[in-house]
Each structure stands twice: as structure tokens, then as C-alpha cells.
Amino acid sequence: MINRYDVVALGELLVDFTDNGMSSQGNPTFEANPGGAPCNVLSMLQKLGDKTAFIGKVGDDFLGNMLVSKASLQGIDMQGIIRDKNTGTTLAFVQKLPNGDRDFAFFRNPGADMMLTASEVEKRAYIIENADVFHFGTLSMTDEGVFAATKRAIEVAKKNGCLISFDPNYREPLWESKQAALEKIRFGLGQCDVLKISDNEIELVTGEKDIDKGVAAIQKEFGTALIFATLGSEGSKAYFGDIVAEHHGFKNPDTIETTGAGDTFCGCMLHFVHKYGINGLTKDKLEETLEFANAAASLITTRKGALAVMPSVEEVEEVIK
């Protein structure tokens, strides 16, 4: 019997080594947290009762085994994972800066996630064929081989009537140039029905600092049906046809770092879009989505990592209260 999935995602599964203070010897310490935006999104969806699956590649090493084990424990179907015997698992070091921003150092030249091929996706096409929603980002487009794999996955998803979801998740250090990143972001914008995009990414793509004007430019050029714009601690907005919905952020005094906040938001967003159907969305339902997603995102900022520590429905509802 072939499984049905609410959401299938393709992309990176990596280790986020998160800044964890100083050792007794005065050296910086980093905690190995499972991460990678697509799997973080799926983990949040699992918390909300959705059935998910992941397609990607890790190294055939103890770090890769840890990642697969942690993702499986969240309930994500990992039959689409491939272990690469020749390339190590991708690593990201995340340091919190004094101003609250983050600095990333990636060890991915190459990393196993970059080595996914179109033929490997083809062998796992049945997973996508049995999904309602297909989700992807730009990290699976940084190199030509994995870009071909991503394009093949999108083709399968479109052929089988999946709703296509895209999150640019722009990470400057991973691109040879801003122009190269923009080309792939624009490719993603041209493929998706649902877009989750940050205020910084809107400015990157359109040159507009004004969120409404930037979103209008994206809608005009790409015809994107549904756009969710995240505004950091200030909250978020949703644009669907003539409807514009917004909700304030939940500023949490216990925030320690923001890794995974956007992914948590994205998982919640996809849950509600899938629950109501893209054509069943109203302003009230979009405001409900934004409120819940903002609250969940605020909770993940109080925890190190994301994939293995996503908030429960009860915890999110408590924040909203």
C-alpha cells in the first residue's frame, strides 16, 4: 500500500551547530542540532497532525545517521533519504551576534545535500505523486546537479496536481554571487502557487522596501496566487487576490536566537492552507493562520535549534491567549 502525504519537501538536511556559550577553558562551544529548512517545515507540520515525507541526501556518516534518526522521531517519512558514501553531511555553524542577528559559516563545498541527482528523484517520484503539497527552497538550487533534481521534482509535482510551495530562504554565503541567487529565486517564484518570503527577500527581489509595493510587483510579474510576507518580530502579512490580512508578532522575552523561526511559520502556514484549501481562504482564515504562525515562530526563538523542538498546538494556543 502506497502512503498518501499532506506535504512532501525536497532539499537540505544538515547539522546546525548552534552557539552555546563558552567552555570552562574559554573556548566557544556549539551544540549539534538537526536542521535544514525543508525538514524543519515538515517537523512543524507533523506537530500539527499532518503526514509528511522528505527527499534529500546526507553523508553516510554518524552525523547523517543522527539527522535521519531525529527526523524520523518527529514522524517524518524518511524513505526518500539517500546516504552518500563519498560526501560528508552538510554542516552549518550559527553564531548569535550582539545585535541579535546571526552569522552563518557553512561547510558545504560540497556537502551531501548538494549531490542529489535528477535520477535519484526519479526513483522516488512515487512519494511526490502521492502528495497534496510539494515544498522546496533555494538551497537545492545552488549547484547545477541538485538544481536539475529540484526541477525534476517540480515537474512531477505539477503533473500530479500538487500545490507548489516555495520559500527562498536566502543565505548569501552559499552563493557565488547575489545575481546567481536572484536567478534561482526568480525561478522559484515562477513555479509556486504559495510563497513564503521575508521582508529582506522582498527587497532583494524587487528593490522595494515597502512590503505592499514589493508584493504587488511579485504578483504582477509572476502571478503568484498566495503570498505570505514575514516581517521579523513585527509580525506578518498575507496577500490573496484582493485580500490583505495581517497580524502583529508575539515578542517573547525569553528569545535566545531566531534559527528556524521562518521555517516554523512556514509549516504552520502550509497546515492552514492545506486544511482550508487555497480556494477556501478568507480574510478571517488568513488572519487565523498568521496569528497561529506568528505565535509558533515566537516560541521556537526560545529554543536552540528547530527540527527536534517544534512547539505543540497547546503551547502555541497558550501564547495566543
How many structural domains is the chain composed of? 1
**What's the pLDDT at 1?**
58
CATH number at residue 192: 3.40.1190.20
In the chain, pLDDT over 90 holds for what percent of residues?
Answer: 90
**What's the pLDDT at 255?**
84
**What's the pLDDT at 34?**
96
Judge whether residue 192 has pLDDT over 80: yes
Mean pLDDT of 191-206: 98
**What's the pLDDT at 3?**
87
Is 150 within the bounds of a domain?
A: yes
Q: Which residues contact 179 (CB under 8 A, 6 or more apart)?
A: none
**What's the pLDDT at 32?**
95
Judge whether residue 222 has pLDDT over 70: yes
Per the CB < 8 A criterion, the answer to whether 103 and 95 are in contact is yes
Is 29 within the bounds of a domain?
A: no
Is 225 within the bounds of a domain?
A: yes
**What's the pLDDT at 18?**
87
Judge whether residue 235 has pLDDT over 70: yes
Is 260 within the bounds of a domain?
A: yes
Is 28 within the bounds of a domain?
A: no
Binned at pLDDT 50, 70 and 90, residue 100 comes out as low
Per the CB < 8 A criterion, the answer to whether 6 and 127 are in contact is no
From the list 191, 216, 196, the residue with the least C-alpha distance to 206 is 216
**What's the pLDDT at 274?**
98
Judge whether residue 99 has pLDDT over 70: no
Q: Which domain holds residue 237?
A: 5-12+36-88+110-320
Per the CB < 8 A criterion, the answer to whether 22 and 68 are in contact is no
From the list 165, 203, 172, 54, the residue with the least C-alpha distance to 102 is 172
| 114/117 Cα distance (integer angstroms) | 9
Is 103 within the bounds of a domain?
A: no
Q: What is the pTM of this model?
A: 0.96
Beta strand 14-22 with 5-10 is unpaired
Is 206 within the bounds of a domain?
A: yes
Q: What does the mean pLDDT of the chain come to?
A: 95
Is 81 within the bounds of a domain?
A: yes
Between these two residues, 134 and 96, which has the higher pLDDT value?
A: 134
